């Protein structure tokens, strides 16, 4: 998934977590809010596909029209509340608070793309599922991921700002 609305993702996460059934998630690509939904799986049932990636970043919004300071301050306050919720979800999933806060703050809050091994090491998934080899853990694919990350950071810093 390409992600989506934070409130909707949290509602889906909470619904999955409260299910009496054993819930399993398997992500081929989880961007933004989709990573929150993926955390809703039952303990030990979160997996990522071998050639997938996660995009983890701070919450953000756009603002247009009314410029009154009180309204802008309210938006900033709401974003801070959402970021605190986001950190709490990832911490509950198994990631340390320090690691997730550092990860979220990369690229001025634009976050980081994670390959499956990193998703696993952060505690955001429990297993890596095999699939058709698009990229593997070889040195050449690692270089490709590093180039992809660099391009993403450049886009975040100079294009999307």
Helices (H) and strands (E) in the chain, counts: 6, 6
Nearest CA among 36, 40, 53 for reference residue 118: 53
For 94-125, the pLDDT digits (tens) are 888 999 998 888 878 788 889 999 999 999 99
Residue 127 has pLDDT above 90, yes or no: yes
pTM over the 0.85 mark: no
3-state secondary structure of 54: strand
């Amino acid at each position: 998934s390409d992600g989506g609305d934070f409130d909707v993702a949290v509602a889906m996460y909470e619904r999955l977590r409260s299910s009496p059934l054993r819930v399993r998630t398997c992500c081929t690509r989880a961007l933004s809010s989709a990573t929150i939904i993926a955390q809703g799986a039952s303990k030990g049932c979160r997996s990522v596909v071998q050639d997938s990636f996660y995009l983890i970043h701070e919450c953000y919004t756009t603002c247009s029209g009314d410029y009154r300071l009180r309204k802008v301050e309210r938006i900033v306050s709401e974003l801070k509340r959402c970021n605190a919720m986001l950190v709490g979800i990832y911490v509950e999933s198994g990631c340390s608070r320090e690691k997730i806060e550092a990860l979220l703050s990369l690229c001025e809050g634009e976050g980081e793309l994670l390959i499956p091994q990193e998703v696993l090491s952060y505690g955001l998934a429990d297993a890596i599922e095999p699939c058709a080899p698009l990229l593997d853990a070889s040195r050449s694919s690692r270089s490709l991921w590093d180039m992809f990350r660099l391009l993403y950071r450049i886009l975040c810093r100079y294009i999307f700002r």
